[in-house]
Amino acid sequence: MESYALRWFDAMIVTIWKREWRAIFRNRAAIVNPIAFLLLGVLLFNLSLTNSEPNNSSHAIGMLWLLVLITSFLSLDSTFRRDFENGLLEQIFVVAEMPFLVIFLKVLIHWILTGFLVSLLSPLLGLLMGLPSEMFLNVFASLLVGTVALSFLGAIGASLTVGMGRGGLLLALLVLPLYIPVLIFGVDVAQSEELGISGIPALYWLLFVSVASLTLAPFAALLGLKISLSMD
């Protein structure tokens, strides 16, 4: 009986995973647009510097993290809205045995398409922003850990505003204050090499925030979606 339950659980995860990726690839702009925005922002930052200005690594890291934060934020609205508009979100709550799992997988895919992809591109982004190569590892670590919190904390705001036609401003007011600790610790980790200090304490704090959001945010998003559906 236990093995049957495990097989059923695994089959459900695979089904949800495949369905979400099929929906993503039908709308490829969801993949291309955030990365294109990030690359354009990095290039504009480079163009804004004159040859006479020395490249300040601290400023570059701060700008990189700010661009990553905006990139993650811009794609938040689509996390639940497509399913809300076609009525699938209501069916998930009625039919799915574990709606929490569906929400978790949707947010995880959002992180893969934004945070994880950006982390893999961090050496290129660092090169474009003129960062020294010895800082690349710290930048990669800070982005890999910190963007998890960006996606999962952002899902809370996205769940509360999914039923609003123009909820962008409210989403920003809800989400951006939650991003402040992630931004602070992420920048501290990334620039610790340049400052000659250990980035381990800041990385631990960043990891704590990400693990806490990974654990608690899906439940908060589930409650937010229930509130949004009840108000619709």
Predicted confidence (pLDDT) per residue in 26-55, tens digit: 777 777 888 888 889 888 887 776 554 555
Tokens of 5: 């339950």
Tokens of 204: 């631990």
pLDDT recorded at residue 5: 46
User: What whole-number distance in Å separates Cα of residue 125 and Cα of residue 109?
Assistant: 22
Beta-carbon-side half-sphere exposure of residue 192 (alpha carbons within 13 Å): 19
pLDDT band at residue 190 under the 50/70/90 scheme: confident
**Residue among 67, 62, 73 at smallest CA distance from 42:** 67
pLDDT band at residue 232 under the 50/70/90 scheme: low
**Average pLDDT score over the chain:** 81
